[in-house]
Amino acid sequence: MRYIYANWKSHKNIIQAREWMQVFLTNISEGSKKALSSRALEVGIFPPSPLLYPVHEMLKGESGIIIGAQDVSRYAEGKHTGLVNASSLSGIATHAIVGHAEMRLYGDTQSVVYEKFARAQDALIIPIVCMRKNDEYIDDAQIVVYEPEYAIGSGIVATPDEIRKFRSSLPDKKDQVFLYGGSVNDETVISLISQNICDGFLVGAASLDPIAFANLINRTI
Ligand code: PGA
């Protein structure tokens, strides 16, 4: 099973999202479509919060494509103006990123990440835990992502050896999905995929262009 997730970060409005989706869906190869419908491949779209529901509507009838939030509130429902609580995602998104390096830079400590993780789980949303270092690992996570800070948005990809070494520093959990993120694009993905070091990728900048993102996926099949 392979996972390829698009993290749009703070990009795109509804018109751009519609255009993206139309171009993306027409550029996915027959092989990728087969992999999506047989569940050999899971693609994820992580748009900005206001686009979660529109993207959910655009993907009706498509199989193998999940929708996720880029973050959730550390609090449950309540008096928290501006925060997106995990239970409000029900019926729209199935996953949520917690502990992304950019949120950690804005002040999310590991204890805040734990709270967000727990709120997502309480709401039956699958939390995806991003780690820059192995002390940011969360044991019960179903999906974890190694994203070294220097590789995010820099054009520099971690070497297969480094990714392998990082993975081997974590507890050996057969059922845990391990992804890599950091400057993955339709070129850099080729060497990563041939090494079989991870279950898939979290893609930022290279997911903004629907053709490049479709190519990236097509090349992994
Ligand atoms: P990048 O971002 O692919 O632009 O490096 C990855 C991420 O931050 O999730």
pLDDT digits (tens, 9 = 90+) for 116-151: 999 999 999 999 999 999 999 999 999 999 999 999
- What pLDDT sits at residue 195? 86
How much helix, strand and coil, in percent to the nearest 5, is found in the chain?
A: 40, 20, 40
Catalytic residue among 42, 102, 115, 147: 147
Residue 220 near residue 198 (C-beta atoms within 8 A):
no
What's CA 169's distance to the chain center, in Å?
22
Full-model pTM: 0.97
- Average the pLDDT over 43-54 and give the result: 98
Paired strand residues for 146: 131, 180
Rounded distance between C-alpha atoms, residue 206 and residue 217, angstroms: 11
CA distance to 40, 70, 90, per residue, from 99 (Å) = 27, 9, 20
CA distance to 21, 96, 130, 141, 205, per residue, from 113 (Å) = 31, 12, 10, 12, 24
What's CA 91's distance to the chain center, in Å?
18
The structure tokens listed for 116 are: 């967000």
Whether residue 182 has its Cβ less than 6 Å from ligand 1:
yes
Active site residue 147: yes
User: How far apart are the CA of 94 and the centre of ligand 1, in A?
Assistant: 21
Token pair 């950690």: residue: 104
Whether residue 153 has its Cβ less than 6 Å from ligand 1:
yes
Atom of ligand 1 nearest to the CA of 130: 9
pLDDT of 196 over the 90 cut: no
